[in-house]
Structure 1
Amino acid sequence: MPPAPRPGTPGAAPDGTPTAAPDGTPTGTPGARRFPAEWEKHLRTVMSWPASAAVWGEDLPAVRRDVATLARAVAAREPVVLMARPEHRDAARNACGPAVEVLPIAVDDLWARDTVPVFVEEGGKVKGVDFNFNGWGAKQRHGSDAKVARTVLAEYGVERIETRLVAEGGSFETDGQGTLLVTESSVVNDNRNPGMNRDQVEAELRKALGVTKVIWLAGVRGEDITDAHVDCLARFVAPGVVLLDQAFPGTPADVWSRSADQARAVLKNATDATGRTLRVVELQQPDPDRITGRGDAFVSSYMNFYIGGKGVYLPAFGDARADDRAQQIMKQYFPGREIVPVRIDAIAGGGGGIHCATHDIPALG
Structure 2
Amino acid sequence: MGWRMPHEGDPHERTWMAFPSAGVTLGEGTAHQESGYRAWADTALAVAEFEPVTMLVDPTETDRARRMLGSAVEIVEAPVDEFWLRDSGPTFVVDDERPGVIGAVDWIFNGWGAPAWAEWQKAAQHARIVAGQVGAELVSSLLVNEGGGIHVDGEGTVLATETVQLDPNRNPLADRSRVEAEFARTIGAQKVVWLPRGLTADYEELGTNGHVDIVATIPSPGRLLLHSQQDAGHPDHAVTRELREHLARQTDAAGRSFEIIDLPAPAALRAGGEFVDYSYVNHLVVNGGVIACGFGEPEADARARGILEDAYPGRRVVTVDARPIFARGGGIHCITQQQPAVPSHSRFLSALRLAPLAQDPLTPAKGGPHV
When structure 1 is superposed on structure 2, of 327-336 and 184-193 the one drifting more is 327-336
TM-score after normalising by structure 2: 0.85
Give me the whole-angstrom Cα distance separating, in 1, the residues matched to 2:231 and 2:210: 21
Match of 2:197, SS state, is: coil
Tell whether the 8 Å contact from 2:3 to 2:103 is kept in structure 1 after alignment. Answer: no
Residue in structure 2 matched with residue 95 of structure 1 by the alignment: 68
The alignment partner of 1:147 has SS state of helix
- Aligned to 1:315, the other structure's residue is in SS state strand
Residue 132 (structure 1) aligns with: 108
Q: Does 1:197 align with 2:164?
A: no
Q: Which portions of structure 1, spanning 4 or more consecutive aligned residues, are displaced by more than 4 angstroms?
A: none
Q: Cα–Cα, structure 1 residues 57 and 299, in superposed 2: closer, same or farther, change >3 Å? A: farther
- The counterpart of 1:231, out of the listed 183, 208, 213, is 213
Residues 175, 236 of structure 1: 8 Å contact kept = yes
SS of 1:163's partner is strand
Q: CA deviation at 1:237?
A: 0.9
**Cα offset, 1:80, TM superposition:** 0.2
CA contact (8 A) 1:72 1:96 kept: yes
CA–CA separation in structure 2 for the residues paired with 1:193 and 1:364: 32
Q: What do the CA deviations read for 1:10-36 (whole angstroms, capped 9, x no partner)?
A: xxxxxxxxxxxxxxxxxxxxx832110
Secondary structure of 2:181's partner? helix
Matched residues in 2 for 1:63 and 1:222: separation? 22
1:242 is aligned to 224
- Corresponding residue for residue 321 of structure 2: 343
Aligned to 1:7: none
Contact 1:186 1:226 (C-alpha < 8 Å) held by counterparts: yes
Equivalent residue number for residue 27 of structure 1: none
The alignment status of 1:109 with 2:87, answered yes or no, reads no
Tell me the secondary structure at the aligned position of residue 237 of structure 1: strand
Indicate the SS of the match to 1:165.
strand
In structure 1, what is the equivalent of residue 247 of structure 2?
Answer: 267
Deviation at 1:294, TM superposition (A): 4.9
Counterpart of 2:280 (choices 302, 305, 314) is: 302
Counterpart AA for 1:286: P
CA distance in 2: counterparts of 1:297 and 1:347, whole angstroms: 15
Task: Indicate which of 267, 270, 280 corresponds to 2:260.
Answer: 280
Gaps (5+ residues) in structure 1? 1-30
Aligned to 2:303: 325
- Match of 1:189, SS? coil
Q: Measure how far apart 1:316 and its partner are.
A: 1.3
Q: Which amino acid aligns with 1:116?
A: G
Q: Secondary structure at the match of 1:182?
A: strand
> Using the alignment, how far apart are the partners of 1:278 and 1:306 within structure 2?
21
Give the Cα–Cα distance (whole angstroms) in 2 for the partners of residues 273 and 110 of structure 1.
Answer: 33
C-alpha RMSD of the superposition: 1.8
Q: Is the 8 A contact 2:18 2:84 kept in 1?
A: yes
TM-aligned CA deviation for residue 222 of structure 1 = 4.1
- For the Cα contact (< 8 Å) 1:52–1:109, is it kept in 2? no
Give me the TM-score of the superposition, normalised by structure 1. Answer: 0.86
In the TM superposition, residue 110 of structure 1 has moved relative to its aligned partner by 2.5
The alpha carbon displacement at 1:108 in A equals 1.2
2:182 and 2:312 map into 1 onto residues whose CA distance is: 32
Deviation at 1:179, TM superposition (A): 0.3
Q: 2:162 pairs with 184, 191, 194, which one?
A: 184
Distance (whole Å) between structure 1 residues aligned to residue 53 and residue 113 of structure 2: 29
Amino acid aligned to 1:130: D
Q: Percent identity?
A: 36
Match of 2:15 in 1: 45
Aligned to 1:219: 197
Partner of 1:33: 3
- Residue 195 of structure 1 aligns to which amino acid in structure 2? L
- The secondary structure found in structure 2 opposite 1:67 is helix
1:314 to 271, 289, 292: 292
C-alpha distance 77-137 of structure 1, shift in aligned 2 (>3 A)? same
1:155 aligns to what? Answer: 133
User: Mind listing any 5+ residue stretches in structure 2 that lack a counterpart?
Assistant: 344-371
Aligned with 2:4: secondary structure?
coil
Aligned to 2:356: none
Query: How many residue pairs get matched?
Result: 331
